[in-house]
Structure formats: structure tokens, C-alpha cells
């Protein structure tokens, strides 16, 4: 069963690759990107779309960083508190 899922995953990856490759070959015409201050960049459409995708992924990752750091701080603080509680309960003090 494990081999079947591995082969299905590989087939799915191959299918996605072939679809992207076909898309790239059908859209190979040059497009113009007009930036600020009169800058112009010309590249194939698939390059522009790939660049837009990569920039979107980077922007999303940067947007998640503050939450990631906050959650790590909270997890570290909670772990320290639980370790301190465990150390307090494991002392050998007899209660009279």
C-alpha cells in the first residue's frame, strides 16, 4: 500500500510538471513589465508569472513571521513554566 501511494504521488508530480511545461511552451511570447521611473523589463510570460508566484510566496512568508516568532516565544515560556512546576513538585520536602 505504501508503494502505491508513492507511485501515485510521483505520477501526480509528473502530471503537474507536464501541465506547467505545456503552459510555458504555449505562452512563450514576450510581455513587457513597466516599472516606476520609466524602467521596462521584457521577458516571456511564464517567467513573469513565475516571478509573480515567487514574490507572492515570499510576501506570504514574511507576513507570517511575526506570528511565528510570537508563538515560539509563548511555547518557550510555557515550557519553562511547566519545567518549573515539575521541579517544584518533585522536591523531597515532607509535609507535616
- In the chain, what percentage of residues exceed pLDDT 90? 57
CB 31 within 8 A of CB 45: yes
SS3 at position 87: helix
Cell of 19: 501541465
Once rounded to an integer, what is the mean pLDDT over residues 6-35? 91
SS3 at position 34: strand
The answer to whether the pTM exceeds 0.85 is no
Q: Is it the case that residue 1 has pLDDT exceeding 80? A: no
CB 13 within 8 A of CB 7: no
Report d(CA 38, CA 74) in Å as an integer. 47
* Domain locations in the chain as residue ranges: 2-87
- Express each pLDDT in 54-84 by its tens digit: 999 999 999 999 999 999 999 999 888 887 7
Amino acid at each position: 500500500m505504501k508503494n502505491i501511494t508513492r507511485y501515485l504521488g510521483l505520477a501526480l508530480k509528473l502530471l503537474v510538471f507536464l501541465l506547467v511545461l505545456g503552459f510555458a511552451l504555449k505562452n512563450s511570447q514576450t510581455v513587457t513589465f513597466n516599472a516606476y521611473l520609466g524602467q521596462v523589463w521584457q521577458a516571456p510570460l511564464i517567467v513573469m508569472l513565475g516571478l509573480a508566484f515567487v514574490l507572492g510566496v515570499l510576501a506570504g512568508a514574511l507576513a507570517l513571521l511575526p506570528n511565528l516568532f510570537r508563538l515560539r516565544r509563548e511555547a518557550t515560556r510555557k515550557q519553562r513554566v511547566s519545567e518549573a512546576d515539575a521541579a517544584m513538585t518533585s522536591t523531597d520536602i515532607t509535609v507535616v
